[in-house]
Chains A and B, each alone.
Chain A
């Protein structure tokens, strides 16, 4: 018996719509098996993961807070992936954005700096993220170095740089030697949307980013170029589109968005700069981008769904002592199923029994 792929005459649009749902369904079946292996009641675990966080206001806000960086980063990554540029270093660009924005917050600490502080932090963070992303992009365009490897290597560098700053020059002198900066001043903090809640202005910015990306991809020539260069490089060359220029552009935009997400996370929910500000947002955003089919609206939904798994994972750990790593396994398996189901859009899967095939002749 052998699995054979048969190319469809044209893309199946029905499957393009339902494939993420099939993938989620298959992932949940796999998770039930995994929970059973871990000796946990699968139904209770699934409830803790996917239902419990939706039942109280605090968790709902927390999902939106977690989805904010995921969606912002994933929107940028989707532009790269559409243009066939493989930026997988968003985690590093996120950290560098957080560092650059925090620089203003740290330097203005305790001064009577006015309302310009937060906007300046956001702008600087986006610029720093974009510049950091331009390193692999330029190495790719100018020298042909694999952007996959260089962007990933720079994640480790950014991580070490942040670590150096909060253990060295920026350490809070009153912080009992913990590696962290002092709490940011109110003018350097992202304002909350609801007094006493968790939801902050960053979520609104994320929604604006989604809308802007939808307009860019659906209504502008640049968006069209991005899609053509990725989907049909030869056609794009004949059309006179400059693929290298688009690599630079998409890397810069995705770096800026990742950097912005970084400072929003630090100046928002976290409130100060410290190591471990990201539970791997830059990598999870890759899953968000693919689960959302590289489509802005899809990414918004996918971001909320993966945020749900983060919150659900924390609750399942507290309530049922399920290890947090299960969330990562879940996310990895989900990405596999998403990619496998995407293959159904272009191909039909067929099981072939070699003996019978010989009898029939080749089809």
Chain B
């Protein structure tokens, strides 16, 4: 029983950064912008988040550093892809390359340092319940926040007027523009939200997942988050399922390595990446009837005033 509890806890921890980053990207893509720079924004968020927490001793300030860093990175993207109408795929790649370099530069001074990781909730009685106690009442703040975040995004997208307008921009920017909505401004805010989430997701890694910073510690999670948005058919509910499934794959391969299954560890480590490819293929195949992607996703929009 303790092992089951430990595995569930580990899955939640591994899923949380994926869920936060993918939630942000979902909003960005729903407004019609494809920002492939999630990995770059995450890794800068990780470096800045750790720097903030190490310098101030506060996890909360570290998380804020990560959010600000991710937002700043996304503003660079917005300036290029929205302001200068540059190809979004190329700009996103550039953002990732820049982010990897910047994070190395920022984080170089902090490699080998340690911090006290984020505290976990503890409610006497509730947290001590067997099996579900720690899962429900013993997580760190990021886990609870990520769940609140995705519920909030669902409510915003489907239950508010602003969310409807945002989705309209993503499905048909010409019509949205003709109706008088400021398409580029709405998209800029969506991109910034995506950047803030990616920065926070990156910061989660050195602040709660492992209490130290290593260069390249995001290890492709930003790209997996991008794949998750596709997996979720751009819907918040399915995103939660996808994020926890991927977290489970990551943790199971780690445990399988620990149990000494006779498969080389590198093959087990490759599982999350292979799973991403297979899932993308299966889902895209099932969806031949019609695409569920926002219709204007990734297209350049230059208002003709």
Contact = CB atoms under 8 A, between A and B. Distances in A.
Interface of A: 3-5, 7, 86, 88, 135, 139, 142-146, 148-150, 152-154, 156-157, 160-161, 163-164, 167-168, 283, 286-287, 290, 323-333, 335-336, 339-340, 342-343, 346-347, 349, 362-363
Interface stretch (B52-60, B98-106, B113-121, B243-251): B98-106
B108 A160 contact: no
A328 B104 contact: yes
A156 B80 contact: no
A149 B96 CA distance: 14
Contacts of B280: 139, 145-146, 149-150
Given A149-B227, A156-B220, 17 more contacts: A3-B84, A5-B84, A145-B285, A146-B280, A149-B223, A287-B97, A324-B104, A328-B97, A328-B100, A328-B104, A329-B101, A329-B105, A330-B101, A333-B98, A336-B80, A336-B91, A339-B80
8 contacts: A5-B84, A145-B285, A149-B277, A328-B97, A333-B98, A336-B98, A342-B86, A347-B302
A329 B102 contact: yes
Given A144-B284, A347-B85, A161 B270 contact: yes
A65 B137 CA distance: 58
Given A150-B277, A161-B270, A329-B101, A4 B90 contact: no
B85 A343 contact: yes
B165 interface: no
Nearest to B102: A329
Interface string B18-47: 000000000000000000100000000000
Interface size class of B (residues with CB under 8 A): 35 or more
Given A139-B280, A148-B36, A157 B101 contact: no
A328 to B, nearest CB: 3
Contacts of A287: 94, 97
Interface stretch (B4-12, B127-135, B170-178, B261-269): B261-269
Contacts of A142: 285
A341 to B, nearest CB: 9
B57 to A, nearest CB: 25
Nearest to B98: A332
Given A139-B281, A143-B284, A149-B223, A340 B86 contact: yes
A330 B99 CA distance: 11
A327 B302 CA distance: 34
Given A139-B277, A154-B277, A326 B270 contact: no
B141 interface: no
Contacts of A161: 266, 270
Nearest to A167: B266
Contacts of A362: 305
Closest 8 CB pairs of A and B: A332-B98, A328-B101, A325-B104, A329-B101, A164-B266, A335-B94, A160-B266, A332-B97
B80 A340 contact: yes
Contacts of A363: 305
A149 B284 contact: no
A331 B96 CA distance: 11
Interface of B: 36, 76, 80, 83-87, 89-91, 93-95, 97-102, 104-105, 108, 219-220, 223, 226-227, 230, 264, 266-267, 269-270, 273-274, 276-277, 280-285, 287-288, 302, 305
A149 B85 contact: no
A145 B302 CA distance: 28
Nearest to B288: A144
Contacts of A326: 101, 105
Nearest to A331: B97
Contact of B273 (A139, A144, A153, A324): A153
Nearest to B103: A325
Q: Which of A7, A145, A349 has the most CB of B within 10 A?
A: A145
B275 to A, nearest CB: 9
Contacts of B274: 153, 157
Contact of B93 (A168, A286, A343): A286
Contacts of A346: 85
A143 B84 contact: no
Contacts of B305: 4, 362-363
A5 B85 contact: yes
Contacts of B101: 325-332
Nearest to A139: B281
A342 B300 CA distance: 14
Given A7-B302, A144-B284, A343-B84, A152 B223 contact: yes
A164 B108 contact: no
Contact of A146 (B99, B102, B230): B230
A345 to B, nearest CB: 11
